[in-house]
Amino acid sequence: MKNLFKLTLFLTVITFCFSSCRERIDAGHTGILFNHYGVTDSKGVSDYEQVSGIVWYNPFTREVYEYPHYWQNASFKNISFNSAEGEPIRTNLDFQYRFTKEHIPSIFDEYRQNSESLKTNQIQSMVIEELNAQAGKLGAVFIMGKGRSDLLTSVKDSLNIKYSPQFEFKLVSFSSELIPSDNVKKAIEGVIKAQEGAKTAQATTVEIRENARQKLIQAKADSTTVVMAAQAKAEAYKLQKQELTSMLLEKQAIEKWDGKLPKYMTSKETVPFIK
């Protein structure tokens, strides 16, 4: 009888060990205990429940899903997206995301996947789909240049609007150089040449304007010199004319003088050589 009891106890313990599993839900995580044979009905009875701490369960009928609700890093390599012209651009994309703690049960209810599967499937599809949607509004040359930051910001903002409140996204960035198609490369080369040509033309225009300014300054200086020379010449001519007039008057007085000195002289009368 004792042996039978011991055997029964042993089989019970063995059955419990093989039919039960222990799972610990770590801090910063939310656990979902899923019942493979459960049914969600109209009365609100669900086939899963939210759990935390130490969880014991039957691995044959139940499964534990664990979702972190802190920020996680993700990196997708060699992805491709299209510009407004339909030109493909390849790159690596880094970003951060997290599952919103309060909405983890609804995330499980909708997707029925563990956190890693969600990352490599749904989340990657969300990000790449939104990247294509936003890049499709921009030209390839603009994306390769000044528009890169605008594109990343619009992708992040759109993801947060579209998939809130279940998911949150931040720090979307390209972790490698953007690799454009051959058509885009040619277009970029054309833009660069046009910019260089514009810079050369601008430099030439500046040089022409400077030369014209210098010539104008020189012309003003020459004009001033000519005016000053003309004024000096006119002044000299005036002085010369005054001197000649004085000499002419004196000559005429000599010619009219009879050689006799007047007996009486008024202040208005003059005698040649006497002043």
Domain count, the chain: 3
Task: Please determine, for residue 180, whether its predicted confidence score (pLDDT) is greater than 60.
Answer: yes
150 located within any domain: yes
**Same domain, yes or no, for 108 and 141?**
yes
Degrees (nearest 5) of the Cα angle 23, 31, 165? 165
Torsion angle in degrees (nearest 10) through CA of 73, 77, 83, 85: -170
CB 92 within 8 A of CB 131: no
**Same domain, yes or no, for 88 and 174?**
yes
4 located within any domain: no
37 located within any domain: yes
| Distance from C-alpha of 35 to C-alpha of 55, rounded to nearest angstrom | 13
**Same domain, yes or no, for 28 and 53?**
yes
H helices of the chain, where?
A: 2-19, 104-111, 115-118, 124-135, 140-144, 148-162, 182-256
**Same domain, yes or no, for 82 and 170?**
yes
**Same domain, yes or no, for 32 and 124?**
no
30-35 mean pLDDT:
93
**Same domain, yes or no, for 163 and 206?**
no
**Same domain, yes or no, for 85 and 176?**
yes
pLDDT tens-digit readout, 143-179: 988 899 999 999 999 999 999 999 999 988 999 999 9
**Same domain, yes or no, for 127 and 149?**
yes
| Domain span at 192 | 181-256
84 located within any domain: yes
pLDDT tens-digit readout, 98-145: 999 999 999 999 999 999 999 999 999 999 999 999 999 999 889 988
Confidence (pTM): 0.60
- End-of-domain residue from the set 68, 97, 128: 68
DSSP state, residue 264: S
**Same domain, yes or no, for 138 and 206?**
no
The pair of three-digit structure tokens given for residue 240, joined into one six-digit string: 């010369």
Which of 78, 175, 82, 91 is closest to 135 using CA atoms? Answer: 82
**Same domain, yes or no, for 121 and 217?**
no
The pair of three-digit structure tokens given for residue 104, joined into one six-digit string: 């983890």
